Amino acid sequence: MPEGPEILDFFHATEHLAAALAAVHGDGTFATRHKFEALRERLLNEDDGAKAVINALGHLRRTHPRLTKIQKVLAYFRKNMHRMRYAEWKRQGFMIGSGVVEAACKTLVAQRLKLSGMRWGRDGAQAILTMRGWDQSDRFDEAWALVAATYQREIQVLANVVDITPRPQRKPAQRRVSR
């Protein structure tokens, strides 16, 4: 795999945030929606967005110390803060959601390997998925050229080869007798 950042799916992070806010203000209330939207925007658009969310969750934990949901979400954000630099990664052109990957899994893997009656071993499934990945990404011809170049063998064609394949015998035609 090429080097790249570890990015926590933005939607999944905001699900955790929404759950913590709902634990304090109630599910679906105006206060929950309002605070969620404000913190969601900060998480998405500010360089220190994750830190701002952690500070807000820390305040909620101090004001509601008995709510374990806030403690769990706060721990989640602290643990994954280095994977939540969404504003930076958006500027660099990285995807911050897993939807593209999940859709690729569905179209690349599930539609090919989960057909009725199919059974796959690890090596066979990998071979099929590798070629399907080339095809789905419009890189089949280039990839096949690399594979073909790797596995070339020199062969010699013999002179004066005689075809010894048996030929079907013709049945003699039957004569018709006219009366």
Give residue-wise pLDDT tens across range 43-78.
Answer: 999 999 999 999 999 999 999 999 999 999 999 999
Count of Cβ atoms closer than 10 Å to residue 87 Cβ: 17
Whole-prediction pTM: 0.63
Q: Phi and psi at residue 159, in whole multiples of 5°? A: -85, 155
Give the residue with greater pLDDT, 124 vs 177: 124
pLDDT confidence of residue 1:
60
Task: State the pLDDT confidence band at 167, using cuts at 50, 70 and 90.
Answer: confident
Report the distance separating Cα 109 and Cα 77, nearest Å. 31
Report the distance separating Cα 41 and Cα 88, nearest Å. 14
Residue 7 pLDDT greater than 80, yes or no: yes
SS3 134: helix
Report the distance separating Cα 82 and Cα 72, nearest Å. 17
pLDDT confidence of residue 179:
60
pLDDT confidence of residue 110:
83
Task: State the pLDDT confidence band at 177, using cuts at 50, 70 and 90.
Answer: low
Crossing angle between the packed helical segments 30-45 and 49-63, to the nearest 10 degrees: 150
* Pair 32, 26: CB distance under 8 Å: yes
Mean pLDDT of 121-127: 90
* Identity of the residue numbered 16: H
